[in-house]
Amino acid sequence: MDSKKVSALEAYSFLEGGGELGKRTRLFNWAQTSVGAVETWPQSLLSLVSIILSSKFPMFLWWGNDLVQFYNDAYRPSLGIEGKHPKALGQKGHDCWPEIWPVIYPLMQQVLAGESVWQEDQLIPIYRNGHLEDVYWTFSYSPARDDKGKINGVLVVCNETTEKVIASKKLEESEKTLKNMILQAPVAMCILQGPSFVVETANKKMLELWGRTKEQVINKALFEGIPAARGQGFEQILKNVVITGETYSASEQKVSLVRNGKLEDVFVNFIYQALKEGDDSISGVLVVAVEVTQEIEARQRIELAEQRARLAINAAAIGTFDLDLETEKLITSERYDEIFGFPDARGHMDYVALIHPDDKEIRDKAFEVLRRTGRLQFECRIIRKDKSIRWIRIDGEIHKNDEGKYTRVIGVAIDITDLKYLIKQKDDFIGVASHELKTPITTIKGYTQVLEEMLKVNGDSAELSIISKLDKYVSKLTNLINDLLDATKMMSGHLQLNYSEFEFDELVNEISNDLQLTITKRIDIKCAAPGCFVRTDREKIEQTVTNLVNNANKFSPNAENIVVRTFRDGDQVVCEIEDFGIGIKEENAHKIFQQFVRIDNDLKNTFPGIGLGLYISSEIIKREGGKIYVRSKEGEGSVFSFSLPCIHEFQRIN
Ligand code: ADP
């Protein structure tokens, strides 16, 4: 050791104080280490040890060739509860730190060569508390000189920063989690940081909402990235959130933004929430937004539609009702009550009680149809309390509840008395007019035929051809008048049918052959129901076939042929008339069997007619227990079919 010796007493006074480590250092048998007994220590070591022990800063010293160790109370916790302490005191550096020797020894050598080392938050795992622990340090290694100024040790002033590092790692992780959460959120989210609200993170939905790309907004001040959003009040709202720390939320807020290259008004529900740091200071704002433009537009459309419907309902004097099918509770509009002659709303059965006794069945049937098809539609008479009779029309639709069960009928009622009166006047007029026309036309026809016979006898061929044309047109007029008469009779329920039994094929063959004389197109007759007898009005079935064949001819101007087919289908016999003409659009197919219906298209005026033929045919067939229907494709042609029940051998009278 050095020449400058100090007495033990003096030496120990240097080591006074210093808490636990002070005491341990005083009691330690230093003579057994290469440092030697305290009395032999150089002044520089005594001073160093004294500074270390009295320091409240964690300090550590390696001294001499063996790098013998000294440390203080402040350093002691870094050695753990059970582990290196107290063995580390006086121990050789290498014996104490075998696990980190490869890390620290090169550093020490640097220091011993005269260069100080400083490192921050350095991970140096050490063995403590029974296992190897990740410990972070901020430390400086500086040269410790002996009395001669020679570097003889390494003074370590250090601070364990494990807690700080872990806390900041946790913070980093939680920030990362927050960012991930934002990026994957199913709603638009972003984080704005600092006084100019720099967009730190924004997810795809938020970028879509803004109509901006990542490059246009990320790490840019919000209103620089989205200039269109400026001046709409959001700057102030954001500032307030940062100043007060209070969350701001808004519903259906209108924002004008440039999206897809054009300025659009969009509606958003959003929340601005202050982002607080550990010390409660506000560093930014978390934004959560949901675009509700479509919902608002849909609502506006519904409101508009409702308004229009209300207007239409009021203008058309339509009454509305809502009937609960389970409870029979009926909610009605004022107009509905008025139609039924009630000053205010009544129970369901009060309305039903007004239905004319003869029409009650119509209503019951309509309700049966409602349960099958979901649609309610009927016309009936009601007898109001003041005895006046009114015609009403009800139209409704069934509605399901959330479980898919039919629970309500919602519909409308219209007073159609005036309309019915007009229809009756029209029917009466048609009835009277056609009746009055029938007699003179029959007479004209008679005279035409007489004239024709006379001209035949005289051999006046030119006049004869004029007269046969006249006869043809008179026949057309007669048919028309007959149709009108039949239709009025059907409407008033006065059509008389004259029943007879006949073989169906025989009738179809006969009419088709007769029609072939008047039609230039070829009629292919394919009768395949021999022996099928029907009991019905022969003349009316003749009229039906004639009408269908004439239509097939009329509506297929460019076709070469028409096919007339019969066949048996179970206990029915079917007649099909097929043409290859203009066909019928699917949506019109069901309409054509109604009276006065003619398909409204470019060809309407090309083909003459008044739209009664199919109505009459269908009424006849339905009355006879058969069916009439059409299969058609526009531009390709149509197949009209009707069926009638066959009578069995034993049912026949002769
Ligand atoms: P009309 O022929 O006197 O107009 P109908 O009651 O016989 O009256 O026919 C009603 C409508 O149905 C016709 O106006 C026509 O539009 C359509 N129609 C009937 N038969 C055919 C057919 N074979 N092909 C195409 N359209 C047809």
In short, whether 584's Cβ falls inside 6 Å of ligand 1 is yes
Atom of ligand 1 nearest to the CA of 637: 24
Residues 199-213: what's their mean pLDDT? 93
Residue 165 has pLDDT above 80, yes or no: yes
Q: Mean pLDDT of all residues in the chain?
A: 88
**For ligand 1, mutation pick of 476, 484, 546, 551 (most atoms within 8 Å of CB):** 551
Residue 653 confidence class, pLDDT cut points 50, 70, 90: low
447-486 pLDDT tens trace: 988 888 888 888 778 888 888 888 888 888 888 888 888 8
How many whole angstroms separate alpha carbon 544 and alpha carbon 539?
Answer: 9
pLDDT, residue 15, reads 65
Given a cut of 50, whether residue 121 has pLDDT beyond it is: yes
* Percent of all residues in the chain with a pLDDT value above 90, rounded to a whole number: 55
Contact 126, 135 (CB under 8 A): yes
Percent of the chain clearing pLDDT 70 (strictly above) = 94
CA distance 73 to 52: 9
Which residue CA neighbors atom 8 of ligand 1 most closely?
Answer: 611
Cβ–Cβ < 8 Å for 409, 398: yes
Burial class (CB in 10 A: 0-12, 13-18, 19+), 403: exposed
> Mean pLDDT across the stretch 515-519?
91
Peptide bond into 86 cis (omega under 30): yes
In terms of Cβ atoms closer than 10 Å to its own Cβ (0-12, 13-18, 19+), residue 221 is middle
- pLDDT for position 580: 97
284 Cα–ligand 1 center, Å: 76
270 backbone dihedrals φ, ψ, rounded to 5°: -145, 160
**What pLDDT score does 319 carry?**
92
Question: For the residues 64-85, what does the mean pLDDT come to?
Answer: 85
The CB of 481 under 6 Å from ligand 1? The reply is no
Q: What local confidence, expressed as pLDDT, does residue 623 receive?
A: 86
Predicted confidence at residue 272, as pLDDT, reads 95
Of 144-158, 532-546, 604-618, 637-651, minimum mean pLDDT range = 604-618
For 282-321, write each residue's pLDDT tens digit.
989 999 999 999 999 999 999 999 888 888 777 778 999 9
Characterize the bridge pairing of strands 627-633 and 637-645: antiparallel
Among 476, 549, 614, say which to mutate for ligand 1: greatest number of ligand atoms within 8 Å of CB. 614
Residue 4: the pLDDT is 44
Segment 389-406 shows an average pLDDT of 89
Ligand 1 centroid distance, CA of 598 (Å):
6
pLDDT of the residue at 608: 66
Among the ranges given (276-280, 434-438, 603-607, 615-619), the one the predictor scored with the smallest mean pLDDT: 603-607
Q: Which of 221, 52, 77, 223 is nearest to 153 (CA)?
A: 52
Q: Which atom of ligand 1 is nearest to the CA of 640?
A: 23
- As a whole number of angstroms, the distance between CA 381 and CA 389 comes to 7
Which segment of 15-24, 54-63, 541-550, 582-591 scores lowest on mean pLDDT? 15-24
Q: Given this model, what pLDDT does residue 82 score?
A: 64
Lowest-confidence region among 87-91, 155-159, 523-527: 155-159
pLDDT at 404: 78
Q: What is the pLDDT averaged over residues 345-351? A: 93
Angstrom CA distances, 270 to 213, 254, 289, 511, 625, stand at: 20, 11, 4, 79, 67
pLDDT of residue 6: 46
Whether 479 lines ligand 1, by a CB cut-off of 6 Å, is no
Q: Comparing 99-103, 312-316, 365-369, 538-542, which segment has the lowest mean pLDDT?
A: 312-316
- Mean pLDDT to the nearest integer, 349-377: 92
- Measured CA to CA in angstroms, residue 454 lies from 141, 446, 449, 466 at distances of 146, 13, 9, 13
Mean pLDDT across 387-406:
90
Q: Is the CB of 618 under 6 A from ligand 1?
A: no
Q: What is the C-alpha end-to-end distance of the chain, expressed in Å?
A: 154
Each residue's pLDDT tens digit, 584-627: 988 888 888 887 777 766 666 666 677 888 998 998 898 888 99
How sure is the predictor about 2, in pLDDT bands with cuts at 50, 70 and 90? very low
Lowest-confidence pick of 255-259, 327-331, 462-466, 637-641: 462-466
Task: Report whether pLDDT(1) > 70.
Answer: no
Average pLDDT over residues 4-10: 46
The answer, yes or no, to whether any atom of ligand 1 lies below 6 A from the CB of 582, is yes
Which residue lies with its CA nearest to atom 16 of ligand 1? 599
pLDDT above 50 (res 5):
no
Compute, in angstroms, the gap from residue 519 CA to the centroid of ligand 1: 17
Question: How many whole angstroms from 528 Cα to the centroid of ligand 1?
Answer: 26
- The protein residue with its alpha carbon nearest to ligand 1, atom 20, reads 551
Q: C-alpha 174: how far from its chain's center? A: 35
Highest average pLDDT, of 373-377, 435-439, 639-643, comes from 639-643
